[in-house]
Amino acid sequence: MTLHRRRFLGSTATLCSFAGCLGSAQSGNDGRSTEGTRSAADASPARSSCEVAASLPAADDGPSYPKHPESTAVSAAETFALNFEAAYQRNDVLSSNGDPTYLTVKSRTVERSESRENGALAAVRLDMGCGFPEGDEGGTETPVTVHADYAAHATYFVGPTRAVRAEREGSERADPRTAANADVVACADPETPS
C-alpha cells in the first residue's frame, strides 16, 4: 500500500509541471500516418456500436460517473467534462491508493471550449488535494498525513451518441476525436432522439 502512495505522490509533481493548450482538429490529410488513431468520423457512429471503456477507474466507495448529456451544446459539454473528470480523479485515487485521509477538488476550470461539427470540445483542469496516513504499522511512531496537490488535465468531445475523453500527454493536449489514448466514457441513451 505504501509503495502505491509514494508512486502516486511522486507522479503528482510531474502532473503539475505540464502545460499546453487545445490544438486545432487534425484532419488526417497532412501526410502523417493515422494508424492507431480514431478519425473524427468515428466520434459519432450508430448508437448500437457505442461501448464505454472498461478501463475507467472504479472504487467501491467512489462516486458514480455522470450520464451522457442530453445536449451537445458547449455549456453542456463543459458541465459534463468538469463533473466527469472530478468523478474520474476521485475513483482513480480511491481505487489505486487506498483510503486517503482526505480527497478534495480544490478548483475546477474550463481551460478552453468550442463548438465543433456534431458536438463540442471542452478542455478542463482540476486542482486536486489529497492526504494519506504514513507511519509505523506497528504503532510505535505517531502517524502523519502526507499531503499532495496535483493538477489533472483532460479534453472531452461530447457528440450526439457518445462522449470521449483524452488525457494530456506531455505538454500537448490531445483532441479526443483523433487521439490514440482517447476512451469512450459515456454513451447516449438509445431512447433519446439525436
* pLDDT tens column, 84-107: 999 999 999 999 887 888 999 999
Overall average pLDDT of the 113-138 stretch: 89
**CB distance 192 to 71 below 8 Å:** no
**H or E segment and range at residue 184:** strand 183-187
**CB distance 135 to 144 below 8 Å:** yes
Please name every residue paired with 124 in a beta bridge, in sequence order, or none if there are none.
Answer: 110, 154
Indicate the pairing of strand 119-134 with strand 102-116.
antiparallel
3-state secondary structure of 50: coil
List CB contacts of 31: < 8 A, sequence separation 6 or more: none
Mean pLDDT for the chain overall: 77
Q: Give percent above pLDDT 90 in the chain.
A: 53
User: Which pLDDT value is given to residue 30?
Assistant: 34
CA distance 112 to 89: 20
pTM: 0.73
Instruction: State in Å, rounded, how far the first CA of the chain is from the last one.
Output: 46
CA distance 18 to 107: 17
CA distance 40 to 42: 5
Please check the confidence at residue 194 and state whether its pLDDT lies above 50. no
User: Which pLDDT value is given to residue 189?
Assistant: 85
User: Which pLDDT value is given to residue 71?
Assistant: 95
User: Which pLDDT value is given to residue 41?
Assistant: 34
**CB distance 175 to 26 below 8 Å:** yes
What is the band of 143 on the pLDDT scale with cuts at 50, 70, 90?
A: confident
Per-residue pLDDT of 16-65, as tens digits, reads 333 333 333 333 333 333 334 444 334 444 445 899 999 999 998 899 99
